[in-house]
Amino acid sequence: MRSAGAAILAAAFAAIPAAAALAGVDAEVPAALKAKGTLAREGEADVFRFEAAAGTVLSLSIAAQGKAPLAFEPRLVGPGEAPLSLDGAEAKPGKFRLPSLLLPAAGGYRLEVAAEGTGDYALSLKAKVKGLKTLKLEARSSALGRPGGGETLLRRILGPAGGVLAVEDPEADLDGALLEVPAGAVPAGTAVELRSAPLPALEPLDRQAAGPGAAVGPPDLGFALEATLSLPFEEALLPADASPGEVEFCLEPPGEAPALAAPADLDAGAGLVAVTVPGALAAAPVVRHGLPRLEASYWLLNWYYELGEEPPGDSRNRNVMVGIGTVDVGEGTLDVALEERWIQWNNLDILGGGGVFLGLDAGLASGTRASGGTVPWHRAGNGDLVVDEEESPVFRSSRDGTVLVGRNGGLGNSCSLDLLVRRMEGPFTVADLAGAWQWAGLRSAASASGAPYAPAGLETWRAAGTLVLGADGRVVLSGTECDGEADGDHPEGRETVGSFRFAGTAAVEPGGTVLLDFGPGGEGPPPLRARPGRNGDVMLLAPAAFDGEEVVGILALRQASRFRAADLVGSFRGANLWVDPSTYPVRDRTVPDFGTGSEEILATVTAGGKVMEVATSGRAVRRPGDSGALRIEATEGAFDLPLSASKKGTLALADPEGGRLTGAATDDGEVFLLARDPARKGGDYFLAVFVREP
């Protein structure tokens, strides 16, 4: 949702007399708005909020730009969340026009610009109130360009006396920001803007963001005397070993490369840092890289596989589990609350007859259990979060500390993939999560197929696809799946490939989860519970309830809007989980092959059903000059794999075992996932998550 080169000119107008203007609004222009924006994700909506007096007459028009295939479906909501009828509007492909609409009551209104399709659009809004020629304009939207919304645009007409543009709105991302234009800086009638903007390119400067991006405009603006720009910064975004005194500025004038600038002033108590500016530019408070702060509340999703050794030397006792819960990271302690969903089976020779199993349930059992408590942790020298308990995960942190990827802390007969995603702050709506999400998931189930002469079977499912969330709560889940079975009935393994598409609804629940319901009747999947985190661009999903038959975990990344392969340049660390149900010899090997890996692959199964410990250290790296290649380095070998990336952040690269890996990346390139393409049979069932190295 960005216009060329910057955040879109988002606005909402307050159709009220000047004396009753909203607090913090200082935009002395007529009540007419022209804005350009982009609906970059299927199902997303740009949301414009405004205050209006009773009797205001509203007119609007929306037009697709550049032959974008858009069929507009705008929605207007009035005071008390009452929807307004848009009867009388003229709608056709690429255009929507409402000549006149009388707003019946005074209060807050919300215009949602949505459409089928994606692309650029132009919006024109006008308001009239009998007896008033000029109305105040509040140029701010609650959901424009960035998950969570709250973007800001203030515009004033200044003259030789100068003036101040001040953001005084707790819901705005630039709350507290100031642009102080001194006397003599501009001639009469000069338009001056202060607005939200994407962060400048920080990688070449070896810096990370310490606060939101902003822009001073319009693009041709110049000051005869330098103005002072003050922007908010967040101490939580500073490295754990950095102080507010290390905050700098990144400035990017139009047509120039970003450059660092020393601050002119710093108010650590107020969380503001100031710099002098000569005119139009993009700016952001920045700080050097360092170890991220981890003290926060996180969602947890855990895939876990265990090979027991009962009887000794055997691995027929197996346990698969998915855990869902929360982790509150404090100073030196973790408060963990986890629901474990598990399936266990053992194939034990209950009659002692030399390996013949006569039971029909193959020792199958399943259930849920609550686990957790308070456990100690410490930070390793490389920034890892190390849980100080035996066989607990070691977590690799992203550079900003919002996503942590874990693996088992030691080698043994269990293997896991653990994801921590920082929970979203403050209340949110489904509209804040609207858009297309790329997802990948793993499912495991067990059966007693093939008894009495074969052990229990393993069924593993890999799938990937798209989850589209509409601002109105509609949801569409689609994807491709590959289902693999290895059991007594299919000793050589069997795979089937298919696709699916289900429609449903989404609703935010107390506690910050989102319930995805695909309706009664059994045709669609059971309800899923999503746990959105980070900045609203990462979600962990699992069934809302455990059916006792299968364990499922899904990771989804919000589809990027303006992604480049170059955004992944840098070093990453990750973890993976893989399962291979492709072979199942009945007598001499009692377990389908499976293993797991992260920076260390923790366990595989040998031909004799034994657990073989393998220590394979590796990481994924992309650096300038690699021609878009993703390099996976490991002690067992190195692979140079060509990587392709779309503007929506979808990834594809060659599979070293043949075939293709698919994946997705977040808009800022800090997190990406990879999975074996479910549209192709063969290979193991694989999911990997990588985070940018601190």
pTM greater than 0.85 = no
**C-alpha distances in angstroms, 635 versus 160, 202, 596?**
68, 32, 16
Contact 345, 318 (CB under 8 A): yes
End-to-end CA, the chain = 29
User: Of 139-148, 214-223, 368-377, 573-582, where does mean pLDDT reach its minimum?
Assistant: 139-148
The letter for the amino acid at 619 is R
| Strand pairing report for 618-622 and 629-634 | antiparallel
**What pLDDT score does 169 carry?**
76
Are 557 and 438 in contact by the 8 Å Cβ rule? The answer is yes
For the cut 70, the answer to whether the pLDDT of residue 139 exceeds it is no
Are 387 and 396 in contact by the 8 Å Cβ rule? The answer is no
Distance CA 556, CA 361 (A): 35
Kindly report the number of other CB atoms within 10 A of residue 391's CB atom: 13
Banded model confidence at residue 591, pLDDT cuts 50, 70, 90: very low
Amino acid 671: pLDDT = 87
Q: What would the two tokens of residue 560 be?
A: 């990027």
Amino acid at 415: C
- Counting every residue, how long is the chain? 694
Q: Is 386 exposed, middle or buried (0-12, 13-18, 19+ CB in 10 A)?
A: middle
Q: What's the confidence (pLDDT) of residue 601?
A: 32
> What is the CB-side half-sphere exposure of residue 506 using CA atoms within 13 A?
30
564 vs 246, residue with greater confidence: 246
Residue among 509, 516, 521 at smallest CA distance from 470: 516
Q: What is the mean pLDDT of residues 336-346?
A: 86
Q: Please name the residues in contact with 562: beta carbons below 8 A apart, sequence gap of 6 or more.
A: 2, 40, 647, 667
The answer, yes or no, to whether residue 377 has pLDDT greater than 90, is: yes
pLDDT tens-digit series, residues 392-426? 778 888 888 899 988 764 445 667 789 999 999 77
Please write the tens of the pLDDT for every residue from 429-470: 888 888 889 999 988 887 655 544 444 566 778 899 999 998
Per-residue pLDDT tens over the stretch 492-541: 667 888 999 999 999 999 999 999 999 876 667 889 999 999 988 999 99
- List the beta strands (DSSP E) in 205-317: 207-209, 214-217, 222-232, 248-252, 259-261, 265-267, 272-279, 281-288, 297-307
Identify the pLDDT of residue 10.
25
DSSP string, 54-109: TT-EEEEEEEESTT---EE--EEEEGGGEEEP-TT-EEETTEEEEEEEE--SSEEE
| 664 vs 661, residue with greater confidence | 664
**Segments of 346-469 assigned E as strands:** 365-379, 385-387, 393-397, 403-408, 414-422, 435-447, 457-469
Give me the percent of the chain exceeding a pLDDT of 70. 69
Q: Is the pLDDT of residue 105 over 80?
A: yes
| C-alpha dihedral sign at 306, 312, 314, 316 | negative
* Cβ proximity of 309 and 347 under 8 Å: no
Q: How far apart are CA 678 and CA 540, in angstroms?
A: 20
Which 3-state string (H, E, C) describes 40-64?
CCCCCEEEEEEEECCCCEEEEEEEE
Surface-to-core class of residue 138, CB atoms within 10 Å of its CB (0-12 exposed, 13-18 middle, 19+ buried): buried
Question: Tokens 């963990």 belong to which residue?
Answer: 336
pLDDT in the model for residue 198: 78
Q: What is the 3-state secondary structure (H, E, C) of 520-556?
A: CCCCCCCCEEEEEECCCCEEEEEECCCCCCEEEEEEE
> pLDDT for 621-633, tens place per residue?
333 333 344 444 4
pLDDT tens per residue across span 37-47: 667 666 667 77
Of 11, 125, 122, 8, nearest to 64 by C-alpha is 122
Determine contact, residues 162/137, Cβ cutoff 8 Å: no
- 243-248 average pLDDT score: 95
pLDDT of 447 reads: 66
Residue that is written with structure tokens 């609207």 in the block: 434
**Which distant-in-sequence residues (6+ apart) come within 8 Å of 618 by Cβ?**
599, 632, 633, 634, 635
Burial class (CB in 10 A: 0-12, 13-18, 19+), 204: exposed
What residues contact 506, with CB distance under 8 A and at least 6 apart? 430, 433, 469, 470, 473, 474, 475, 514, 515, 516, 517, 530
Question: Which sign, positive or negative, has the C-alpha torsion 573, 579, 583, 584?
Answer: positive
Instruction: For residue 102, count CB atoms less than 10 angstroms from its CB and return exposed for 0-12, middle for 13-18, buried for 19 or more.
Output: exposed
SS3 content of the chain, % helix, strand, coil (to 5): 5, 55, 45
Calculate mean pLDDT across residues 325-350.
Answer: 84
Let me know the angle formed at the C-alpha of 139 by 201 and 53, rounded to the nearest 5 degrees. 165
